[in-house]
Chains A and B, each alone.
Chain A
């Protein structure tokens, strides 16, 4: 390794290390670099995970996030994308054990950011599908829009997330049930909508490349009593899919 690369290696390592033999570290002003890097990473995580920050409070959030930053610094200069493994970190973070829904709330915060910054492609015009005959419709593949995300939790994490994004506490009569959500982007912004297991199954089938016929058939087996046609038509009209 040449001298320039070795300097960068040692400097980068010293930014997150408590002790270092790298000479510039002995200068008191080295703290400016350490503080700036850490603060920018913490600001990014706090901005990207607002529901988590609301639930645990700012101080707890930044203390926990600092541990994550030191072991998983950003990999991408787009700091709005930082935190790809933060939910997994929280899931395994022992001091968060009393909040079993925290990692799922973080996942939903993350899906929101992914949707917000996903690439622009035109959404599917449902009227074009409506013009097809039943046979052609069943053979059609539709793919979810790059800004569409879906979410399942074994807990009422969507309700907790919604309240936290508003800075409110959840109602005491919260029903402790699994929840699903659909994350959609319109020109006005990102919307997190209540969804059911059927919507999630249909979206997953379409994302995996199934035709609309195959997706409906599989859903009919899992959800024999559901109005699959209505649910599918609602999804197609919601802007959840991209043009083929």
Chain B
């Protein structure tokens, strides 16, 4: 019997031996399902991880914030993986990444109009039906203002939760990066966030792009989590309570022990918050 999810780490195949050996209570691992949708040694490795630890699938390509429906072939393959590894969490992004058959590997922004909300609701419902379970949607990073919003992001997400029954993935680094880039107040955003629907929290590092106006922050996932993001995380725990929290690192991936140390720091904050409750 596994205990409650505490802090987790984004799984990298080069860490397989450490991951299989690791016995930290509450540890869980998250992967991008896109890398495990075929056969061969990679999904077999994921089976081995799933035998030892809870798994979360964090998709990057369903393109749910799109005028077009999600790719049914992709959904079918994703369902097969869900049935195979029995993930504890399945998540995606409030963003789009395909257009007219082309896959654009990024999480792209859109005007949060009434029309867009209707499309996202429809796409989330289709995906949840195809996967036979609820999805959690992640708040994106923003780099530039988009004109024509009818909804604030937090209200848009709350309405999406109300209409589809989906959960939310709160990426605290994305909140920090977006607030900086769009000159918004991160704490005000968090205070308006529909926290009751949050099933998972993400923490990651970002980079400063000095070449762009005002020192743009880029959600690069290639460095340790920055101190102000840890501070925001404490604030989230204070107002939302303890939630499963993932350490993401996709570039300059260090040895497992370094990620595990960040994971332990989050786990300590979670446990402190649970004690206080």
Contact = CB atoms under 8 A, between A and B. Distances in A.
B265 to A, nearest CB: 28
B128 interface: no
A62 B41 CA distance: 28
A148 B271 CA distance: 50
A13 to B, nearest CB: 9
Interface stretch (A76-84, A132-140, A153-161, A194-202): A76-84
Contact of A74 (B38, B39, B100, B103): B103
B105 A74 contact: yes
Contacts of B35: 78, 80
B103 to A, nearest CB: 4
A28 B144 CA distance: 8
B105 A79 contact: yes
A78 B143 contact: no
A7 B110 contact: yes
A224 interface: no
Given A29-B212, A33-B143, A76-B103, A8 B42 contact: no
B99 interface: yes
Contacts of A30: 143-144
Q: Which residue among A8, A31, A41, A119 has the maximum number of chain B CB atoms within 10 Å of its CB?
A: A8
A117 interface: yes
Given A78-B34, A78-B38, A29 B106 contact: no
A118 B38 contact: yes
Interface residues of B, number: 47
A227 interface: no
Interface residues of A, number: 46
A32 interface: yes
A17 interface: no
Given A12-B102, A24-B146, A36-B106, A4 B119 contact: yes
B113 interface: yes
B76 to A, nearest CB: 13
B71 interface: yes
Contacts of A187: 41, 44
B34 A73 contact: no
B99 A9 contact: yes
B13 interface: no
Interface in B181-222: 181, 209, 212-213, 216, 218
Q: Which residue among A7, A11, A15, A115 has the maximum number of chain B CB atoms within 10 Å of its CB?
A: A7
Given A4-B110, A24-B146, A78-B35, 6 more contacts: A3-B113, A4-B116, A12-B100, A24-B144, A77-B34, A77-B60
Interface of A: 2-5, 7-9, 11-12, 15, 23-24, 27-33, 36-37, 40-41, 44, 73-80, 115-121, 146-147, 185, 187-190
